[in-house]
């Protein structure tokens, strides 16, 4: 079976072909194709919206509209024959639908906006659209409202209008990181760090929410400081950041100096993470976390091709929009999208601020800037194809071109009707249509398309929220925390105490590795272990090697420690791993399993941090004791430098 709706075929510019329905019937006629099944119940919309669409797309209204439109059409190339008019009307012959009984309400409002010029049009529509959104928001949450547009330019315009009115809005424009105000503040700071003489970038950052929230300074104070500096300094005589550093030394040292000094020495990713952490950006602005994470992802993705600030900022200027898009949704915001992206979706309330029909230009509803090219087959030769540019001025002199032009224009005309059908059928409860018309004779054919003088039907009302079978509680996830690794890694060389500790740690590691080879001291000597030491660590000095040899000899022969290296029938395990009841992996330096006891031996370089060592040993004893019940478990700390032993009670 095949399912679809020819009235919603709005993707011809992507290769969609409404003729496929009829072609299938013809191609498979030997299989007795039955295309009589019609789904005519509308489960989405309230009664008044269904009734409105039934009237608008009825055969009577379509013929009335085509009569008006064709009567006003002066171009012969755009005149339809009677058979073509029948074809257009026939596409909507099964458009009438029934509403379901539990949806007996609904509201439709149509507003004609008369304007003198484009600026006048935008201002008038802006006022009416904002008024309508506020009117609707008294009864519906903002997330229930969708504003449908024809182009990205319209989306940008509507988004700006709503944002200026402090109405939460979600669109491709707001979900692009470079249109996020906080991301712009971060990039301004990066631009300043790259070029400190860029006073504009520095001003943009210190006047922004990130800086003011992170430092606790007031915007009025920063504004006064900038104006005083500009009045005092002649152009080029001083840089703003120097004046700021002089007047606010503590703020500079705490929040800016570290980044100012580390640019070029710290990878961009680490630099940006440090900025987020220093100014508590993610914690202060949790609602924008998706944008911060996307910016970090981009830095990571571009670290090979655009590793430094200058290259990365240049990349952001030219990056494809899809690279900058954030898959993130505000909990309660008006959705602004194109009609094409709304196809298949439904919304409680739909507003269409620029309802129009472009039936004067040939081409798809997406691009009309140039005459379109079509793929056509040559006359009487269906196997040979070519590209043809359909320009009206050529069609006037060529019968073949005229025929193709009129055929393509019919498809474009149907595209416009289909776009209107998709637009009008997205609404569930309320539909608002704004039809802009120039003063004088109406130029927007959408004004002819809506029947009658009525501008309103139904009644606005409140609707109860739909019940959810298994309501899920919303889980609040705390903002992510980014560790400032740059501050931990910036000192490649530590002080003398740090170097000494590092040397002791390395000495302990080598002694552990050597003692792990000793199962029975009778088969290993200090000299043998020293020889292995030289093979594995060829760079070790004579003095160090002698020290390791002396320590090993003492441990293997001392009265305190030699019993641990003479098994006398005990099973010995070196570097034995256990997993405790919490899933943690524990590694015991030496384990001796006797007939009635189990000895746990742990090597330590010195008694430094002895309390922690005892706690660690008791953890070993509990875990090992559980494995070797009922044997008694004993623990011994062997201090290698002292050649001493301390037993730890369980």
Tokens standing for residue 9? 């075929």
Cβ pair 395, 86 in contact under 8 A: no
- CB-based burial label for 387 (10 Å; 0-12, 13-18, 19+): exposed
Give this prediction's pTM.
0.60
Nearest to 334 by CA among 573, 144, 537, 533: 144
Q: Which residue has the tokens 């220093």?
A: 278
Structure tokens at 419: 């776009």
What residues have CB less than 8 Å from 532, skipping those under 6 apart?
514, 517
First vs last C-alpha separation in the chain: 76
Mean pLDDT over 628-646 rounds to 91
Tell me what the pLDDT averaged over the chain comes to: 84
On the question of pLDDT at 280 being above 70, the answer is yes
**Per residue in 440-499, pLDDT tens?**
555 688 888 888 766 899 999 998 876 555 656 666 666 666 665 555 555 444 555 555
**pLDDT score of 256:** 93
Which range (57-61, 179-183, 508-512) has the least confidence? Answer: 508-512
Statement: residue 237 has pLDDT above 90: no
Q: How far apart are CA 526 and CA 551, in angstroms?
A: 9
Q: Is pLDDT of 647 > 50? A: yes
pLDDT in tens, 96-108: 999 999 999 999 9
> Inter-axis angle of helices 526-536 and 496-515, to 10 degrees?
120
pLDDT band for position 173 (50/70/90)?
Answer: low
As a whole number, mean pLDDT of residues 553-582 equals 87
Task: Tokens for 51, please give them.
Answer: 């009734």
Q: 473 by DSSP, 3-state: which? A: coil
Which of 260-264, 324-328, 441-445, 490-494 is predicted with the least confidence, judged by mean pLDDT?
490-494
Give the helix ranges, DSSP H, for 264-308: 268-278, 281-284, 289-301
Angle between helices 82-91 and 399-424 (to 10 degrees): 30
Which residue, 367, 373, 401, is CA-closest to 387? 373
Over 70: is that where the pLDDT of 599 sits? Answer: yes
Provide the 8-state DSSP code for 430: E
Answer with the residue of higher pLDDT: 552 or 321. 552
Whether 622 shows a pLDDT value over 60: the answer reads: yes
Find, among 229, 231, 232, the residue nearest to 241 by Cα. Answer: 229
Residues 6+ apart with CB under 8 A from 170: 329, 330, 333, 334, 335, 336
Quote the CA–CA distance of 545 and 538 in Å, as a whole number. Answer: 10
| pLDDT band, residue 366 (cuts 50/70/90) | very low
Q: Using alpha carbons only, give the angle 79, 83, 86 rounded to the nearest 5 degrees.
A: 100
């Amino acid at each position: 079976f095949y399912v679809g709706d020819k009235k919603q075929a709005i993707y011809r510019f992507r290769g969609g072909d409404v003729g496929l329905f009829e072609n299938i019937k013809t191609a498979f006629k030997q299989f007795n194709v039955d295309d009589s099944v019609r789904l005519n119940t509308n489960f989405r919309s309230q009664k008044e919206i269904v009734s409105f669409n039934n009237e608008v797309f009825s055969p009577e209204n379509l013929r009335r509209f085509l009569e008006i439109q064709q009567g006003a059409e002066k171009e012969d190339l755009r005149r339809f024959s009677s058979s073509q008019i029948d074809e257009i009307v026939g596409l909507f012959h099964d458009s009438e639908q029934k509403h379901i009984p539990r949806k007996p309400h609904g509201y439709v409002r149509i507003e004609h906006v008369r304007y003198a010029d484009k600026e006048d049009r935008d201002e008038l529509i802006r006022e009416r659209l904002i008024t309508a959104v506020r009117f609707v928001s008294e009864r519906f949450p903002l997330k229930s409202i969708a504003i449908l547009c024809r182009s990205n330019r319209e989306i940008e315009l509507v988004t700006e209008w709503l944002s200026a009115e402090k109405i939460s809005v979600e669109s491709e424009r707001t979900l692009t990181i470079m249109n996020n105000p906080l991301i712009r503040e971060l990039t301004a700071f990066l631009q300043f760090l790259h070029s400190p003489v860029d006073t504009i970038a520095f001003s943009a950052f210190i006047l922004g929410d990130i800086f003011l929230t992170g430092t606790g300074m007031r915007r009025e104070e920063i504004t006064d400081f900038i104006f005083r500096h500009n009045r005092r300094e002649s152009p080029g005589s001083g840089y703003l950041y120097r004046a700021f550093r002089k007047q606010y030394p503590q703020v500079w040292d705490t929040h800016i100096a570290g980044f100012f000094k580390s640019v070029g020495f710290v990878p961009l990713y680490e630099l940006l993470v440090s900025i987020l952490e220093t100014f508590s950006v993610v914690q202060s602005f949790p609602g924008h976390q998706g944008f911060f994470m996307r910016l970090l992802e981009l830095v990571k993705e571009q670290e090979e091709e655009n590793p430094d600030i200058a290259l990365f900022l240049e990349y952001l200027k030219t990056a494809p929009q899809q690279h900058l898009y954030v898959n993130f949704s505000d909990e309660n915001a008006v959705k602004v999208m194109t009609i094409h992206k709304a196809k298949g979706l439904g919304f409680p309330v739909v507003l269409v601020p620029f309802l129009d029909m472009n039936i004067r230009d040939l081409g798809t509803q997406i691009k009309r800037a140039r005459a379109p090219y079509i793929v056509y087959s040559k006359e009487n030769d269906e196997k040979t194809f070519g590209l043809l540019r359909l320009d009206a001025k050529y069609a006037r002199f060529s019968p073949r071109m005229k025929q193709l032009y009129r055929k393509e224009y019919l498809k474009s005309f149907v595209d416009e009707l289909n776009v209107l059908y998709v637009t009008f059928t997205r609404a569930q409860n309320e539909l608002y249509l704004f039809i802009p018309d120039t003063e004088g004779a109406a130029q927007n054919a959408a004004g002819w398309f809506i029947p009658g003088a009525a501008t309103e039907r139904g009644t606005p009302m409140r609707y109860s929220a739909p019940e959810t079978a298994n309501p899920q509680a919303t889980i609040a996830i705390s903002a992510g925390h980014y560790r400032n690794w740059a501050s931990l890694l910036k000192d490649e060389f530590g002080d003398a105490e740090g170097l000494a500790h590092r040397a002791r740690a390395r000495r302990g590691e080598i002694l552990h590795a050597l003692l792990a080879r000793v199962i029975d001291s009778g088969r290993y000597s200090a000299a043998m272990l020293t020889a292995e030491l030289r093979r594995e660590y060829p760079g070790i000095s004579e003095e160090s090697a002698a020290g390791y040899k002396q320590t090993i000899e003492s441990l293997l022969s001392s009265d305190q420690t030699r019993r641990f290296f003479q098994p006398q029938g005990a099973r010995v395990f070196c570097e034995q791993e256990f997993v405790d009841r919490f899933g943690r992996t524990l590694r015991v330096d030496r384990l001796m399993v006797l007939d009635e006891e189990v000895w746990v031996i742990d090597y330590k370089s010195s008694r430094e941090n002895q309390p922690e060592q005892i706690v660690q040993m008791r953890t070993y004893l509990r875990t090992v004791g559980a494995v070797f019940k009922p044997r008694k478990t004993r623990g011994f700390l062997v201090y290698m430098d002292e050649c001493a032993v301390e037993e730890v009670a369980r």
